Chains A and B, each alone.
Chain A
């Protein structure tokens, strides 16, 4: 079949490039999602901080919150492709002709963009935690910071994992827009293979299949991790209720989930 022939020709000639493009796509998506998660956690925590009593701190908080809001609105409200152009060419313009190194620039753009979405996800995650969790912590004197660190954020992380996984999968696909500034990710090489070989359909078919395999396997892996994090459904009983002298052991080991 001629199509198979075309595909095989494209792959033989451009396969190495395409594979390196896959690596860059995966690298930029993973790094972008993780850094975006850190940005989102940071912003989300700040945005849900209780209002300080001190009037100066209060004013500072108001400004900081305004900046975070503006950041979220701007980066959620404009296409990442345009953001990439603005950041890349803006830097070149302002620095008098220097250009950003491409992979780090790509990671930065994806991180900032993802951070805007995850900020909202985290804020929603924190707000949806029952008031009782905060009050339980307050009632024993825990500070807001300790409460966040030990009680709230661990619960938020588990709750937002599906949404963050989704951002990751979106990033795998959306890194393709970075080709506009010349980042050598998967789409960039598929495009160049198409241009050079004139086998346009075959080239993009390869890219399409690879994108699908990436997102499909990653979705499965993340599902598996989510399941794991749901924790074990059972626990071990130590000592004995009837026999008070029975040895009491405290176990630290994690047991496998009883599926």
Chain B
């Protein structure tokens, strides 16, 4: 049994009296790629944001290598080990692509400038953004921005990367370039939690698919099971609605 990196137990999150996450049990093992699917508003983003502590859970616990992320770990150092890629990129607008990938390394990990730059260049090359290291975010296309954002996350040498609909804000012709970077990353053994509406990615790349509905994990299993032979009525409805549109 491979080592569990993140373990979520009875996670709850409410905004005021709006219970968004009702009782989530979930874990992800080293090297696993898990796709999280579900209709809009079902709590997928909230789940990822709780894992990265961008939201504070209102119940349950999240363990990172068995340690509670809220009580036993330093938030800043924990976040450095768990990268996040956002739908809206969230690159630093005042910094160029290279600086975007350096700043976290120097300020959070205390790496010296030279080492940080070398590492940033390495990952920018991996995502095919070497030619654009001097470009500011506003000078890049959506697909290019997202690739820089992935390089920024990778430059911190994280153990896990969380992706929140990384291709949803992209023009259709740019979706492919980002997905192919993610596919390579998955194949290289990175542990990934991916919220996505790209069913082809979920089916072909992930090891496991999780279907979320109304604040619960409704069904999960191998892509073949979930897509080929869904057990729950909600899953069937979601998939048929999704594939017919």
Contacts and interface: CB of A to CB of B under 8 A. Distances in A.
Partners in one complex: yes
Contacts of A158: 94
A20 interface: no
- Interface range for B: 35 or more
Contact of A133 (B90, B98, B128, B134): B90
A117 to B, nearest CB: 24
A41 B90 CA distance: 24
Interface in B153-170: 153, 156
Interface stretch (A29-37, A88-96, A203-211, A235-243): A235-243
B52 interface: yes
B134 A235 contact: yes
A54 to B, nearest CB: 14
A146 B80 CA distance: 14
Contact of A142 (B93, B98, B107, B130): B107
B90 A140 contact: no
B76 A150 contact: no
A90 B147 CA distance: 61
Nearest to B91: A136
Contacts of B103: 142, 150-151
Given A135-B86, A136-B90, A140-B80, A235 B135 contact: yes
B157 to A, nearest CB: 11
B172 interface: no
B131 A240 contact: yes
A interface SS class: loop
A89 to B, nearest CB: 45
B135 to A, nearest CB: 4
Contact of A140 (B88, B108, B117, B134): B108
A227 to B, nearest CB: 16
B131 A140 contact: no
A241 B128 contact: yes
> Looking at B76, B94, B103, B121, which has the most chain A CB atoms within 10 Å of its CB?
B94
B123 to A, nearest CB: 13
B136 interface: yes
Interface of A: 132-133, 135-143, 146, 150-151, 154-155, 158, 231, 234-241, 248, 250-251
Sorted nearest first, the 6 A-B pairs with minimum C-beta distance are: A136-B90, A140-B104, A141-B80, A139-B84, A141-B79, A132-B90
